[in-house]
Amino acid sequence: MKGKIRYFGTDGIRQKADAFTPGFIQAITLGIVRYLGNARETADGMERPVKVLLGGDTRESTEWILRNFEEALETVGIDHGNVGVLPTPAINYAFYQMGYDLAIDVTASHNPATDNGIKIFERGDSIGGLEAVMPGGVGFKGTGTTSSGQDLSHEIKKYPFGVKLSQAGVNAIENALENETGFDVGVVEFAEDLHADAKSRYLDHLKDYLEHIGPTTISDRQKPDFSKLKIGLDCADGATSVVAREIFEYFGANVEVIHDDSSYGENINKNCGSTHLESLIQLVKEKQLDFGAAFDGDGDRCLMVDADGTVIDGDDMVACIANYLGLPKVAVTIMANKGLLNWSKETGVELVMTDVGDQNVSAKMREDGILLGGEQSGHIILPGESMGDGILTALVMTKIYSETLARKQSEDQLILGYEAIQKAKAEEKEGVKSESTSSTDSGNVTLKSICSMLKKLPQTIKNQPVSHALKQVFRTNAEVAEEFIRQQTKELEKLNWSLNIRASGTEELVRVTIWGDDPERIRAKADEITEKLTLLEDLI
């Protein structure tokens, strides 16, 4: 296909929910048929129908979009299954494990309920050689043994995942959307509900991953114990509502969960989740929890808050996990806090920069063999994974916190024991009982403290709603946008500040990000720039 990509953005298709008409869904289905064909050859030379797995988040529109997909796929002869409400990483994992060729995830991620979208994943090791990179091809090396005695000394963990639809697949669907008007569908028998099977497979993956991951200095892999921790979870009334509480309680955590309605409706991301941390901060403080984790609507990102309400973002988590695993290199985007540059110099961890978007981070990781990457927004791509997984990220951070706390308490016990012996000797020698004192402080392990290796520089992000036309001006780097950015950048360079202006890939927004040395002044400057930006509406 020649020409501009009209429908696919940085994260699949994203638009108002009512735009996903039956005809629109049918055109996407025809594009999939043209890309995949109708059949696959089996190992014994026989043919089988192409298989597509469906799932999505909790938006009201997701339910009927999934139904429209089932009708369209059935009509064109593509075998299909439906897992219902599950996080995006779970759908990606399940389709691969269950032997499907493609996964269609109906979600608009962190967008409001009035929007919806489609993410498509394919088997990166089998689609016509177009994505001849094994998904999850960057793994982590195990050491020692598991709790069941399994030797990990030479094992490279690689988990089976799909990759986002290749450009050839995108082109096929874009072509169909431009040129097809849909087709008649008959009465169909809706696919068997595969929710329980897919969820079980995903939970097993989370359990296995958390037992295996750790620094190479740990000789024994065991089930983590979170029983001493009190944790708050905000599920954004989205897809993580069906999984988050269960997996954290499996590891023994005492959890307080808010915004965990898993039914189809209009509450997803509404003043909750990773884009609205206020209610989680309030919960953590009021309940005196150790920390909290907030997910977005489809569960591919996570932000955390410390006991005092401090926000722990993706940059913090990348630095923390890299330090924990002793990794030599990480991938982050150009939107990362500039404090990471200083962290890189101080620790020797190489910082590889990519364009914005978790798909760009993932691609760079596969290309360069990088084990960890992420975005400030909370998309963290962990070793062996092909995409961000909010729940898994929160679990790994909890494991790091738990191990740090246990290590500190163990050290405190050793100090107390030593002090007790010295005290007894002194009393015996002097014949006088001394006052009880202790030099330990086991209460100083916080989520903030385990991320303290990253010293952030002042930064502000201003999201400016704009018309679709103005967003396209910045998305395509039109001359008007380039000149505007050039003028604003030149002015900020005089202050030794940095500026990034870019169109959102998923919303009708232009984001203005400024890094500088004075929080109040950079916020004021961001307001000034966005005000100037709105004046461009009259020029297009």
Q: Active-site residue numbers?
A: 109
Residue with tokens 């990759």: 163
Among candidates 526, 490, 534, 527, which has minimal Cα distance to 509?
A: 534
The sign of the torsion formed by the CA atoms of 128, 129, 131, 133 equals: positive
Tokens of 401: 């916190």
Structure tokens at 485: 């950015």
3-state helix, strand, coil in the chain (%, to 5): 40, 20, 40
- Say whether 149 sits in a helix, a strand or coil: coil
d(CA 244, CA 277): 17
- State the angle between helix axes of 314-325 and 339-347 in degrees (0 to 180), rounded to the nearest 10: 10
Burial of 430 by CB count in 10 Å (0-12 exposed, 13-18 middle, 19+ buried)?
exposed
The CA angle 139-142-143, to the nearest 5 degrees, is 155
Annotate 32-49 with b (16+ C-beta within 10 A) or e (fewer): bbebbeeeeeeeeeeeee
Closest CA to 271 of 244, 237, 300, 301: 237
340, β-bridge pairs: none
Q: Where are the alpha helices (DSSP H) in 431-467?
A: 447-450
Tokens of 298: 């489809």
CA dist 128 to 39, 73, 131, Å?
13, 21, 8
